[in-house]
Amino acid sequence: MKRILAVDVGGSKVKFLASGETEPRKIDSGPGLTPARMVEEVRRSARGWRYDAVSIGLPAMVGPGGPLAEPGNLGHGWVGFDFAAAFDCPVRIANDAAMQALGSYEGGRMLFLGFGTGLGSTLIVDHVILPLELGDLPFRHATFSEKLGRQAFEKKGKKAWRRLVLAILPALQKAFMADYVVVGGGNARHLSRKLPAGVRVVNNLNAFRGGFRLWGIEEVQTLHEEGTARTAAPRRPPRKVANGEWRVL
């Protein structure tokens, strides 16, 4: 079994965890973070960990060959960067919402919504991963990202933002005929415990589990409330898949 280093690149922090380890590590992110600097600092901070391959969740559009667009809240140079050469091992890259969605998947038809800087979104159906761009859809003279992202949260306040989110969740679940909706992202913790039926909030560090699953590894990490990890299976583990059987469209 390969040992995987899962890297979750965010707008303020880059968090990473190797399979078999229990304590995630992190470095600062931000508008000055280039891919070369990210790799250099992650490799330095991950010293002492053994890993054979790397998974990267990136807040940008990603294709089979890597990033298709530059992340809006990071430095430049991500498109065309040779991550495998920089890490000196095989690398698989996914959209950050898709990687967290993969880590949260428990079978069936699942819609993932990530409430952070904007709105990340992914649909998974029977082990086929379809990254979405729901944040760009028009909504009340703006877009979903503008109405539900971090700036809207800070401007409207928690109560007004939460009312709007709880109002749109059932509609999106119905529109995508999802068996259940998983909510993540930095602002997911502000949602009340009285969620609509079929909706649940997950720990954002599920992205690490998604990074391991990109390589077909089902010995996954779950997290205690204090943020440390332990090895366990999800509540309803999906059918075990062979390496490479997960399809990202």
Q: Give the position of tokens 């709880």.
A: 166
Provide the token pair at 106: 């428990």
- At residue 126 the predicted structure's pLDDT band, cuts being 50, 70 and 90, is confident
pLDDT tens for each residue of 165-190: 999 999 999 999 999 999 998 888 88
pLDDT value for 231: 43
Query: What mean pLDDT do residues 59-85 have?
Result: 93
> What pLDDT does 224 receive?
47
Write down the pLDDT at residue 45: 97
Q: What percent of the chain lies above the pLDDT cut of 70?
A: 88
Contact status, residue 155 vs residue 173, Cβ threshold 8 Å: no
- Do 185 and 214 meet the contact criterion of CB atoms below 8 Å apart? no
Residue 115 host element (H or E): strand 109-115
What would the pLDDT profile of 228-244 be if each residue is shown by its tens digit?
444 444 455 455 554 45
Cβ proximity of 202 and 184 under 8 Å:
yes
State the average pLDDT for the chain.
Answer: 87
Instruction: Give the per-residue pLDDT at 73.
Output: 85
Cβ neighbours, 10 Å, residue 172: 16
Tell me the C-alpha distance between 138 and 91, whole Å.
35
Q: What pLDDT was estimated at residue 239?
A: 52
For the entire predicted model, the pTM comes to 0.84
Vertex 31 angle, CA 215 and 136, to 5° = 70
pLDDT band with cut points at 50, 70 and 90 for residue 1: low
Which domains, ranges and CATH numbers included, belong to the chain? 4-98+205-248 (3.30.420.40), 106-201 (3.30.420.40)
pLDDT at 230: 46
Rounded Cα–Cα distance for residues 170 and 173 (Å):
5
Per-residue pLDDT at 204:
79
Other CB atoms within a 10 A radius of the CB of residue 246 amount to 19
14, two tokens: 């880059």
Give the relative orientation of helices 96-104 and 206-213 as an angle to the nearest 10 degrees: 90
Instruction: Give the whole-angstrom CA distance, residue 249 versus residue 20.
Output: 29
Total H helices, total E strands in the chain? 7, 17
Examine the pLDDT at 202 and tell me if it is beyond 60. Answer: yes
Segment 79-99, tens digit of pLDDT: 999 999 999 999 999 999 999
Residue where the block lists tokens 């807040």: 59
Confidence of residue 192 (pLDDT cuts 50, 70, 90): confident
Whether residue 130 is predicted with pLDDT greater than 70 in this model: the reply is yes
